[in-house]
Structure 1
Amino acid sequence: MLLRFPLSVSEAQECLAEEAVPIGGATLVWATWQRDGFPQRAMSLRDLPEANVIGRESLGGAVVLNRVDERVPDVLRLAAATIGTGAVRRTATVGGNIVGSALRCLLPAALVLDARARVLEADGIHETDLAEVTAKRPLLLSLHWRAPLASAYRKLPGEAGGPPPLVVAAALHADADGRNRLRVAVRDGYDVLSGSAACAADTDAEQVLRALRRQHLGDLPDEAWPTITDQVCDLLGHG
């Protein structure tokens, strides 16, 4: 297998044109390759600057999970810290988790940030939404969002060998009209459901929770709602 490490977007495009397979941290594909055979060409974005940004409003797809720190909103930092073991977090990447993983522990966090994705295709860089990223699985360069007022994340305990544990993420954003908007996303099994509610200074938690229940979140199991309620109450205090 020929493994390339492009240093520029144009070099990465050349790799795509040569049908090189993106490997990220290889935590998800290594066992499959050992069983089914290795590709002729592969590439890693670990040396590509555009895929390694870390900041208040951006996170690169090639960033390994243990580098996701206080520079990003709490919801992303806390999400990354709960994924796998320390050994996994030292090799697994943001892009691999969102694009390649069935669990997608970072996806609820990215959804409540209302993040947009920059993806690399053979004809250049394009910006798209997370729905297209999860459906088409393109090469993720980076995520970008507008910094929230506050955010929260919790992964509930799960049973060993059982279904994926519930994940609850929330973020409070300042809207242009002077009001705020609270976004909530929940991973229930392998599905991720999300909703949002506008909230003014005098909006109480019950109003927001009722608005969320009227959306897709109304289908969530009962055990998700105590955590959603706690996060809504906490974040409204930052409005």
Structure 2
Amino acid sequence: MLLCLPTSVTEAQECLAEGAVPIGGATLVWATWQRDGFPGLAMSLREVPEANVMGRESVGGAVVLHRIDAQQPDVLRLAAATIGTGAVRRTATVGGNLVGSALRCLLPAALVLDTRATVLETDGVREADLTEVVAERPVLLSLRWRAPIASAYRKLTGQAGGPPPLVVASALHAGDGGGRCLRVAVRDGYDVLSGDTAGDTGAEDALDALRGTALGELPAVAWDVIRPQVTGLLHGDGANGEGLSAPDR
């Protein structure tokens, strides 16, 4: 297998045109390749500047998970910190997790940040929403969002050999025309559901409104986590650090 290491978007496009397979951090594909055979040409974006951005409102697709720190919103930082082991987080990338993983541990956090993606294709780069990223699995260059007022994250402890542990992410945003918007996303098994409502009401009104969204289908155990997160964000009493629990195995 030949590994293509482009240093620009143009070179990355050329690698794609030649049939290179994107590998992210290779934590998810290596075992499959050992079993089924390696591709003739693979590509890593680790030398492409646009895929390595790090800031308060952006992160590159080639950024490894352990680099996500206090620059980024709490919900994204806490989500990254619970993925795999320390060794995995030093290798796995943002793009690999969102595009290459069935678990998509970062997806609830990205959804509540109202994230937009920049993706790479053979004929250029373009913007895409997360629904398209999950469905079509393009090459992810970067993510960007508008920094929230506050955010929160919790992952429950999963059982070995069982379904993925429940994840609840939430964020409170300033609205464009004034007011505030509350966004909540939940991973229940392999499904990710989300909903939003006004963030200027009391917690009970906000929870009632969220039950009228897709989140209303969730089991009681999910609402046992959603309720204190929503209450903490709307009352400003710091739900951000709650529930940093056992990582996925």
TM over 0.5, shorter chain? yes
Q: Greater relative contact order (Cα 8 A, min sep 6): structure 1 or 2?
A: 2
Deviation of 1:160 after TM superposition, in Å, equals: 1.1
Q: How does 1:2-21 map to 2 (within 5 A)?
A: 2-21=2-21
Deviations 1:104-125 (A, max 9, x none): 0000000000000000001101
Partner of 2:147: 147
Please state if 1:120 is matched with 2:120.
yes
Deviation of 1:197 after TM superposition, in Å, equals: 0.4
Q: How does 1:1-239 map to 2 (within 5 A)?
A: 1-200=1-200, 203-238=201-236
TM-score (norm 1): 0.98
Q: CA RMSD in A?
A: 0.9
Tell me the distance in 2 between the aligned counterparts of 1:139 and 1:191: 22
1:143 partner SS: strand
Q: What letter matches 1:44 in structure 2?
A: S
Which segments of 5 or more consecutive residues in structure 1 lack a partner in the other structure?
A: none
For this pair of structures, how many residues does the alignment match?
237
TM-score (norm 2): 0.94
Tell me the distance in 1 between the aligned counterparts of 2:236 and 2:227: 15
* Runs (4+) off by over 3 Å: none
Tell me the distance in 1 between the aligned counterparts of 2:64 and 2:95: 9
2:119 partner SS: strand
Tell me the distance in 1 between the aligned counterparts of 2:176 and 2:7: 38
Deviation of 1:199 after TM superposition, in Å, equals: 2.5
Q: What letter matches 2:36 in structure 1?
A: D
Deviation of 1:4 after TM superposition, in Å, equals: 1.1
1:13 partner SS: helix
Deviations 1:26-65 (A, max 9, x none): 0000011111111010110011110011111001000000
Which segments of 5 or more consecutive residues in structure 2 lack a partner in the other structure?
A: 238-249
Partner of 2:247: none
Tell me the distance in 2 between the aligned counterparts of 1:84 and 1:9: 30
Check whether the contact 2:172–2:199 (CA below 8 A) recurs between aligned residues: no
What is the percent sequence identity of the aligned residues?
A: 74
2:206 partner SS: helix
